[in-house]
Every structure is written in structure tokens, then in C-alpha cells.
Structure 1
Amino acid sequence: MKPAYEHVTTDVGCSIRVYHRKLHRIPFERHHHPYYELTLTMNSRGMRYIGDSISDYGDNDLVLVPPDMPHTWASNKSIDAGSPQEAIVVWFSGDWAMRLADCCPEYEPLRRLLRRGACGLAFTPESALAVRQRIPALLSQSARERLSAVLEVLYELAKVAIADAIPLASPQSFNQRPAGKPSGYEPERINRVLSVVDARFAERLTLGDLAEAAMLSERTLNRYFVQHLGESAGRYLSRIRIGHACRMLINTSWPISTVASKSGFPNVANFNRQFRAFKSKTPNEYRKAFAGKQQPVENSLSLETRAPSLDTRR
């Protein structure tokens, strides 16, 4: 089930786009686009699909989605039945943010936000409430005021909230990052390890193997991973494997034992245990969550209307 391509546009003279979405329900419309997306969802409760991550969400759900990561929210009920479900959506270019960090040292923390956000991030309710207080500025009719508000939000998330943010999808979710070409934001030795994991995740890999590839001790390697990716090398490897398993569960009808083996889990019981630990679902439950989903095409520009969207082009 391929995600639809969403054609995001910005107005002339604008470097970001802010969209205020209001719906009686949020339909399942899995899609992707080449921009970072910061979304605050309000008065809504349902399921959130970010790459290979499926999670329950509730009111004041604040998430950062990286470029080209398939994603959607799906909800049939508003928390307050008398009001619509709402989402404040901010689209911005990673290149633009990185150039800003390059030329303005005051915005250096944006690098950290983009690096940690490579798998998608779910922020704390406190961070969501802080963003909610800025909604009037985010929806200002002045493009300059909207930009200023977005910069303040991103800066605060990078400086304060990112430490408590929860990674969502596996780093290789849906093969959005080509194998053997990890992100350039990590140090060279980390890149070396990521390449090994990309190429050999289905094999028996130990922490010692990864440390040898990086020419570091196991302790130092783990410290580097926690510093630059926000998790240990072992957990990263497990998330890579679970991510590949998720793709196979969605895109094939292979037996669970085959999916486990091809994902680097020769023991099915261990695979089921780790899968549930990461996804809060069994592999069978996860497969069923994607089965039969439809992707309606929505066309609609301004703060109140969506950009020409969910184009069927791939």
C-alpha cells in the first residue's frame, strides 16, 4: 500500500507554510512530502501512523515528521463532540533550517532538532501546550509574524523539549533513506556503524561487531549513539530490524516466522516479544491495523485550506 504524494506549496515570498485544519473526523489518508512537518492535533483521539510507528494519540498531540516519511492521523470522534477536530500544521524545509543554523549561531540548536527528528518525534504534553499558546501568532495574517512564531517554536523545542521527546519510526522506515547512505549529521564513525547495520541487519550482529566497525570500545560506541541518536546501539539495531519487519508485515503476506527470520530474528518468540515492546501490538495485530485502509484524495490555499494535496503522482 503505497502512500500518496502530497504536493505542498508555499505562497510567494514565504519560506514556511502554516495550515489550520478543521474536520469532523480525521480520515486515514497515508501520504508523504519532501518537507519537515510539525503538527499539533487538538480535540481529537485516535491512531497516529508515522512511518512504521502506530500509536494511540489524544488531545494536544505534538509531532515532528521528517521529509518523505509516510504518515497520517485517523480519528472518527472529537473529544468535545460539539467542536471540530483541529490541527495546526507547519511545513518547513530542512535545507532552509540548516542554512539558518549555518549563518546564525543563535539557531544552532535547530541542527540538533533535525538530527533527532530523523525518525519522527512525539513531544510532551507540556511542549504541546506551549505551542498551543502561540497559535494566534502562528495563524497571523502577517507572513513575517508567522515565520517569527515558527522560529520561536522550533527553537524552544530544540533547546528544551527535545530531551523528553519520543522517537517514533525506525530510522530506516519504508526505505526512505537509501541503504548504505546514512544521514550526514552524525560523526563519521557513527555513519560507519549505520552502514553496517543497513547492510547486515538480518545477520547475527553483536555490539562487539558494531564497535569493531567504528574502531571504538563498546562503551564509547553506546555513548556516541546516545549522544547523537538518542538511544543505545543495541536499541537502534533492534528498531532497524523491527522497522524492516513492519514493512514486510504491511507489504507481504509472508508468515510471521518468515518475516522474523528476514528481519534478523531467528527466534519467533523473541521476535514477538520485541515487536510488542516496540509497537505495543503483536505482529498479527500490526498487520491487521493496515489491512483494508483506503486513501481518499483531497484537493483544496490559505491558512484555512489545504495546499493542492495528496497528488496521485509518485
Structure 2
Amino acid sequence: MKAAYEHVDFGANCSVRIYHRRLPRIPFEWHHHPEYELTLTMNSQGKRYIGDSVSVYGDNDLVLVPPDMPHTWASNLSIDPSSSQVAIVVWFDDTWVRRLADLCPEYSDLRSLLRRAVCGLVFEEGSGAQMHRYLDRLLSENARERLGAVLDILVWLADLPATPLASPSAFVARVGAPSGYEPEQLNRVLSLIETQFERPLPLATLANAAGLSERSLTRHFVQHLGESVGQYIARVRIGHACRLLADTALPISVVAARSGFSNIANFNRQFKAAKLLTPAAFRQQFKEARRVEAEASPSLLERPPSLEIKRAPATRGAERGRQRRAL
């Protein structure tokens, strides 16, 4: 199931885009875009799909999604049936934040936030409720006040505990790619893993590429990535397999081979250990979510109303005005 491309229009005079979405239920709309997305979901519970991560979410779910990572929320229940489900969405550009951090030492911590968010982040329980204190400013009619609120939120999130969501290499090439913040020797190894993960990657080969001893390379991985070389490679391979399972109808044996697993039994075992599902069950989750959405909303034969697909300028502008209430 290919993720749809979403075009996010910031407007001529805005550095960030805010979207205040209110609706009876949040539909399954598997999509991606080149901007970071911070989403606070309220009065809603269901399943959250971020790359290859599929999790149950509840009220005040607060998640940061990296650029080009396919994602969607799909609700099955409103916590208060008398009120709308709400998603407050903040989009911002990667280059904008990095330049801000380079120019203003006060925002240097934002680099670490972006680095942590390379696989997506769900912030600790209670953080979504704490974010409510920013909402008046975030939804202001004044663009400068909205921008100030976004900066305050990002600085606050930079120090907040959060859990990574997707695996490296899940759906997009940039996940697991060198970030520019690890030592250059480690970056060379990450690049090699990213491009050659479908082949055998002995530790000796990787250490030679880095110009390090095997022991030093292992120490670098644990220090900078928090896991062993073998664990990282396995996560990259599983992430790639998840993308193939969600995006293609390839037989599972072919998915295993293209993801670096020569033995399908070993692939099934490692996949289930990582995802708590068999490969077939993981694929079925995406099929089922799409089927339920199609049955519930026949209008989804058209593009989902939350997605601004690039079309002719006049058509896109008319559709955007009709389908979105955005700031």
C-alpha cells in the first residue's frame, strides 16, 4: 500500500504551518511529506501507524514524525462521544530548524531533538496534556505568536523523555543514514549498512571500512546508538522488510531475501521477536485498516480530505479552501 504524498502549503509569510483538525473520527490516511510533523491527538483512541510501528494510542497522544516517514492515525472511538476528535498538527522544515540552531545558541538543543526524532518519537505520558498550555498561542490568528509558541514547544520537547517508534530504514532511505552528528568513522559504517544491508556484513568488513578495530567499532555503536552492530543491522533489515510488506504484494520469501535474510525461518523468527507479529500478520494489519476505512467512508474513492496532493494550482487552491480549516 503506497503512502500518498501530502503537499503542505506554508503560505508566503509563514515559517511554520498549523492545522486545527476537528472531525467525528480520524480516518486511516497513509501518507508522507518532506516536513517534520508534531501531532497532538485529543479525545480519540485507536491505532497509530508510524513507519513500521503500529501502536495503540489514547487521549493527548503527542508524536513527532520525521520527514518522509509514512504515517497515519486511525481512531475507533471518541473518549467523549458528544465532542469532536481533535488533532493539532504542526509542520516545520528541517533546514529552517537547523539554521536556527546554528545562528542562535539558545536553540542549539533543537539539533538533538531532530537527531532523536530520526525514527519518530512518542513523548512520555502526560506530555500531551502539558502541551495544552501552549494551545491558545499556537492557534492564534497572529502568525508571529504562533511561531513563538512553536519555538517554545520545540525547546521544551528537546529535553523531554520520548520513545523511538520506527526502525532504521523503515520506508525512507534517510532513516538510519548518517546524521552528521556521529563521528565520521561511524557515519561511514552507517552508510555501508544502509546501502548493503541485503548482503552479509561481517563485523570485520565494517571495522575495516571505518578504519577501526572490531572492538572499537562495537564500542562506538554502543556509545552513540545504544545497541550492538548486529542489533542495528537486524533493525535496518526488519525495517526494510516492513516497508516491502506494507507497500508491495511480494511473497514473504522474496521480502525476506530482499531484506538480507537468506533463511525464511530465521526471518520469521526475528521479525516476530521485533514486531510481536508474524510478517503475514503485519501485512494484514495494513490491509485490514484500509479495508475498514473504505467500507466506512465510500467518499475515500477520492483523495482523503487531509491530503493536499499536488495538482494544477487553481484546482489545488479550490480544494484546499473547501477541505481544510487551517491557520
TM-score between both structures, scaled by the size of structure 1: 0.86
Deviates more, 1:196-205 or 1:265-274: 265-274
How many residues are treated as equivalent by the alignment?
Answer: 302
Distance 1:135 1:35 in 2: 21
- Tell me, in whole angstroms, the C-alpha distance in 2 between the residues paired with 1:146 and 1:277: 43
Identity, % of aligned positions: 60
Secondary structure of the structure 1 residue equivalent to 2:87: strand
User: Mean alpha-carbon deviation: is it higher for 79-88 or for 291-300?
Assistant: 291-300
Cα distance in 2 for partners of 1:239, 1:102 equals 31
- Partner AA of 1:245 in structure 2: A
The structure-2 alpha-carbon separation of the partners of 1:301 and 1:189, relative to structure 1 and needing over 3 Å to count, comes to farther
**AA matched with 1:97:** V
Do 1:116 and 1:228's aligned partners in 2 also have CA atoms closer than 8 Å? no
Q: Give CA deviations for 1:251-276 in whole Å, capped at 9, x if unaligned.
A: 33333333223322234343223222
Amino acid of the structure 2 residue aligned with 1:55: S
Residue 305 of structure 1 pairs with residue 312 of structure 2: no
Indicate if the aligned counterparts of 1:46 and 1:57 stay in contact, CA closer than 8 A. Answer: yes
1: CA distance between counterparts of 2:219 and 2:46?
Answer: 36
Following the alignment from structure 1 to structure 2, what is the Cα–Cα distance between the partners of residues 70 and 252? 14
Check whether the contact 2:119–2:175 (CA below 8 A) recurs between aligned residues: no
- 1:174 corresponds in structure 2 to 171
Per the alignment, residue 29 of structure 2 pairs with: 29
1:165 corresponds in structure 2 to: 162
Could you give the per-residue CA deviations for residues 48-87 of structure 1, whole angstroms, max 9, x where no partner exists?
1112222221222111111111111111321222221111
How far apart in 2 are the matches of 1:278 and 1:134? Answer: 36
CA contact under 8 A between 1:115 and 1:229: conserved in structure 2?
A: no
Question: Structure 1 residues 184 and 18, CA, compared in 2 at 3 Å: closer, same or farther?
Answer: same
Q: Which runs of 5+ in 1 are unaligned?
A: 308-314
Matched AA of 1:250: A
Deviations 1:257-297 (A, max 9, x none): 33223322234343223222332322111111122625643
What SS does the corresponding residue of 2:114 show, helix, strand or coil? helix
Structure 2 runs not aligned, ≥5 long:
295-299, 306-318
Q: How many angstroms apart in 2 are the aligned matches of 1:249 and 1:279?
A: 13
Amino acid at match of 1:13: N
Distance 2:212 2:128 in 1: 38
| 1:102-141 alignment, distance < 5 Å | 102-141=102-141
Q: Tell me the distance in 2 between the aligned counterparts of 1:126 and 1:204.
A: 43
Cα shift at 1:221: 3.2
1:199 aligns with: 195
Contact 2:37 2:64 (C-alpha < 8 Å) held by counterparts: yes
Return the letter of the residue paired with 1:305. R
Q: Give the letter aligned to residue 127 of structure 1.
A: S
Q: Kindly provide the amino acid, as one letter, of the partner of residue 74 in structure 2.
A: A
Given that residues 8 and 33 in structure 2 are in contact (C-alpha distance below 8 angstroms), is that contact kept between their aligned partners in structure 1?
yes
Corresponding residue of 1:285: 281
Q: Is the 8 A contact 1:116 1:229 kept in 2?
A: no
Show the 5 A alignment for 1:191-230.
191-218=187-214, 220-229=216-225
Q: CA deviation at 1:217?
A: 4.2
Matches within 5 A, 1:36-115: 36-115=36-115
Counterpart of 1:255?
A: 251
Distance in 2 (alpha carbons) for counterparts of 1:281 and 1:60: 27
Q: 2:260 aligns with which of 264, 271, 288?
A: 264
Deviation at 1:169, TM superposition (A): 1.9
1:188 is aligned, of 166, 184, 187, to: 184
Distance (whole Å) between structure 1 residues aligned to residue 155 and residue 130 of structure 2: 12
1:208 Cα deviation after fit: 4.3
Distance change (3 Å), C-alpha of 1:219 and 1:284? same
DSSP 3-state at the match of 1:14: coil
- Distance change (3 Å), C-alpha of 1:116 and 1:208: farther
Distance 1:146 1:229 in 2: 34
Matched, 1:276 2:272: yes
Change (3 A) 1:178 1:281: closer
Q: How many Å apart are 1:204 and its aligned residue?
A: 2.6
